[in-house]
Chain A
Amino acid sequence: MLEAQSLSVAFGAQTILREVSFSVAEREFVCLVGPSGCGKTTLLRALAGLAPISSGRAVFKEQEVRGPQTELAVVFQDYGRALLPWRTVAGNVALALEARGIPRSEQSARIAPLLEKMHLTQHADKFPSQLSGGMQQRLQIARCLAQEPQVLLMDEPFGSLDAITRQELQDEVARLAKEERRTVVFVTHDLEEAIYLGDRVIALAANPGRIAEIVDIELARPRNQLATREDPRFLQYRHRLYKHLGH
């Protein structure tokens, strides 16, 4: 569904990514991990059409990605900056519907289930500044879901959140991906998070960014914060991938 074909990104003399190639199948949950500065965010942005590609290409449904499109929704890490502060929770979700040209009369019918899915129903009339970090991130995800995208590209979405909220949202995203049958590309620096969430983990090395290893995760779903993380195979994957994080 989504592919990177010998993707390279360079800024001037500096090569951020060098000939990265991999493909993501429909409904797959792929996690990208790597040490800081390995270019994983740049890779995600290149797939989304937000970063200029120096050579190679990103391909979505057999068409080259030349710019941003609604089918490839992006969930940013800095959720505060990605939400419209002057619109309410419902208004922010409505934005995606307006962009798709859905008439006002139909909008509330679509917004309500999304808010419920993300546990935001009772906050529908609040402004982002009145929400906690976790709720704001949920709102961003709700807005992205309202786009009805084919692929969800998530850039370290839980990096700024506390541990408890992070775990809650991990489970929610995993559940959503399965329920809505969406394809997800998830960038994180947290190895355990990657293994916990992914069907496949792609480890990137730094300087320049390139694929170090790709590992299929064969852990049962639905995953559980306690049981899965204690599963011996979880630990094996962890051992295997640990070295790629620059340790």
Chain B
Amino acid sequence: MAALPMKRAGWFLISLLCFAAMLVAWKLAADAKLINPLWFPGPDRSFSKLWEWISSGSLWSPLAQTVWRMFAGWLLACGVGITLGAAIASSAFARRLLQPSAEFLRPLPASAILPPAILVLGFSDAMIVFVVAFGCVWPVLLGAIHGFGNLDQRLGEVSRLLNLSSWQRAWKFQLPNALPDVFAGMRVSISIALIVTVASEMLSSQPGIGYLMLVAARAFRSADIFAGIIVLGVLGFLTNYVTQKLEDRLLRWR
């Protein structure tokens, strides 16, 4: 940004005010009882419920469950996606054989795997981690196939001119070259991981934030629902932020 720091701070304050205005509007709408307060609490009730969760410690266990499942599935998918992708990229034959199937499976909603997975694996953590991994693997896999398979022709010639061994070529040229595409895939799939984890928890009634919120819905505890939305929003924001920062740091050469 070319703006001076002062100007940036100024705009940040204005957007903060705008956000605060939204919260005020929310409060006014709730107070005016436009929608039944049973279903639609104001920000004060929502935030105080959230505070209650934090101070009583009842937030941490379900949150930890959600987070560990999300990361376990995502890491599993990244490991599989990257190694498989690198292997597939190295052979044109493998690409033609496997890439169409990967492209076909990409638009499949990961949650659609839940019913079959429940039939096969039952209601368990392993089932959720598997479903999350299934949903996350496609962006990473396709990113890896693209990244590992697309070394600039000129760079390929440079590596031949330098007489590099194929191991050196893979480590010094193909891997760094693949990183941008792989990271893009990893970034997309972590958003998928959060969604699929919460959806799985809701469906399979496994302890976690998702289940917590669904139970609250059935009991008409709307403040709990909103508190849960805030928690998940923060979780989503943090995961996006951290992955973006990591990516910027590792790829700062761009």
- Residues of A in contact with B (beta carbons under 8 Å apart): 48, 50, 67-70, 72-74, 76, 78, 81-82, 84-87, 95-96, 98-99, 127-129, 147
Contacts and interface: CB of A to CB of B under 8 A. Distances in A.
Given A76-B154, A95-B172, A99-B168, A85 B253 contact: yes
A70 B161 contact: yes
* Chain B interface extent, by class: 20 to 34
Contact of B154 (A48, A72, A82, A147): A82
Nearest to A70: B163
Contacts of A81: 152-155
A99 B253 contact: no
Given A70-B163, A81-B152, A82-B155, 12 more contacts: A48-B161, A69-B163, A70-B162, A74-B157, A74-B161, A82-B157, A84-B155, A86-B176, A87-B176, A98-B168, A98-B172, A129-B254
Contacts of A98: 168, 172
Contacts of A147: 162
Contacts of A82: 154-155, 157-158
A86 B177 CA distance: 8
19 contacts: A50-B157, A68-B157, A70-B163, A73-B161, A74-B157, A76-B154, A81-B152, A82-B157, A84-B155, A86-B176, A86-B177, A86-B179, A86-B251, A87-B176, A87-B253, A98-B172, A127-B252, A127-B253, A129-B254
B123 interface: no
Interface in B150-184: 152-155, 157-158, 160-164, 168, 172-173, 176-177, 179
Nearest to A96: B162
A142 to B, nearest CB: 14
A72 B160 CA distance: 11
Interface string B236-249: 00000000000000
The 5 closest A-B CB pairs, nearest first, are: A81-B154, A99-B162, A127-B253, A86-B176, A68-B160
